[in-house]
Amino acid sequence: MKKGLFFALLASVIMVGCSGGSEGNNSTSPAPSGTNSPAPSGEVKTIAFVTNNPSDYWLAAKAGTEKAAAELKGYKVEFKMSPDQNVASQKQILDDLVVNGVKGIAVSPTDPIGEKGDLDKIVEKGILLVCQDSDAPDSKRAAYIGTDNTAAGVMAGEEVKKALPNGGKIMVFVGKADAQNAKERFAGLKKALEGSKVEILDLRTDDGDRARAKQNVADAIVKYPDLAGCVGLWSYNGPGIINAVKEAKKVGKIQVVTFDDEADTVTGVQDGSIFSMIVQQPFVFGYESMMMMAKVLDGDKSALPADGKKIIPTQAINKDSVKAYLDGKPKK
């Protein structure tokens, strides 16, 4: 065989091998045939989900991204858990994703104001950016998917009024007061309590430190002997509150309303030591944010909500409804 013919044949075999299959190498699970339009032959697009802390709350969101990864064709899905609640840690994750050629990012901003410039730079590089769980409404993000946090705060306030029909003094706890979801939940809580006999003493922050979150509660119980209630605005605040209340032997004397369904919180609702929990749907955040970005990247701009927000409903769960809630919850 002539050398020219041999190399021509060899080149054609290599090209066929390189172009075979458009399924992405998903970081969480293999990708069967997807529901979106396929990416160009041989091209794999990376899309990522980035948290703002390492809470167990995010495990449900991770499961949602895994479900999306199993359905999408031509996409690699990455789930990035921030090791702490520092802006620098989240920025490093975002920077690494950009350097590695990510096409879309769904992020829960740690500091929506302080990070605005960095978020806008991501968009200016041609990367699709959406916010999930907590918004950065003044940034150039394409959309927000998650809870209506003001409404959720109102819901929490209504539960506080049920727990304390005669009023009383309460403390509120959260990781960072300037996170968008924290600001909105606290605003909603205050709105719901206007005109009631419930008095908010203070809002205490912990920067995502679970030990500090619990200690904040313990300190408040000592400082305010007549404390009637505690409200936790972030997922890990619930376990911190109820464990401090139990150690102080104040179960039943201090009513607890908190967000999300971490294990200790669920147990507290089941045994009645927690009056109610306001539950979000992080599984849906994970799944829908990945599917939304894939559709947009494949040219379907109608996947973006017209008003820039896709709101996922919340529920108030108490002792009477917790079993039905757990029975119907998506499995991680």
pLDDT digits (tens, 9 = 90+) for 130-154: 999 999 999 999 999 999 999 999 9
Q: How many structural domains does the chain have? A: 2
Output the pLDDT for position 57: 94
Ranges of beta strands (E only) in the chain are 45-50, 75-80, 104-107, 128-132, 143-146, 168-174, 198-205, 227-232, 255-259, 276-279, 309-311, 315-317
Average pLDDT over residues 65-75: 97
pLDDT(262) > 60: yes
Q: 153 to each of 39, 181, 257, 327, how far by Cα in Å?
A: 41, 9, 11, 25
> Do residues 215 and 70 both lie within one domain?
no
Output the pLDDT for position 151: 98
> Do residues 43 and 111 both lie within one domain?
yes
Output the pLDDT for position 42: 63
pLDDT-based confidence at residue 8 (cuts at 50, 70, 90) = very low
Average pLDDT over residues 266-272: 98
**Residue 280, token pair as written in the block:** 């979000």
> Do residues 96 and 143 both lie within one domain?
yes
> Do residues 140 and 211 both lie within one domain?
no
Output the pLDDT for position 43: 83
> Which DSSP helix (H) or strand (E) runs through 211?
helix 210-223
Average pLDDT over residues 250-262: 97
Question: Residue 164 belongs to a domain with what CATH number?
Answer: 3.40.50.2300
pLDDT(31) > 90: no
6 lies in some domain? no
324 lies in some domain? no
Is residue 53 helix, strand or coil?
coil
Output the pLDDT for position 329: 85
pLDDT(21) > 80: no
> Do residues 77 and 156 both lie within one domain?
no
Q: Which domain holds residue 297?
A: 21-147+282-313
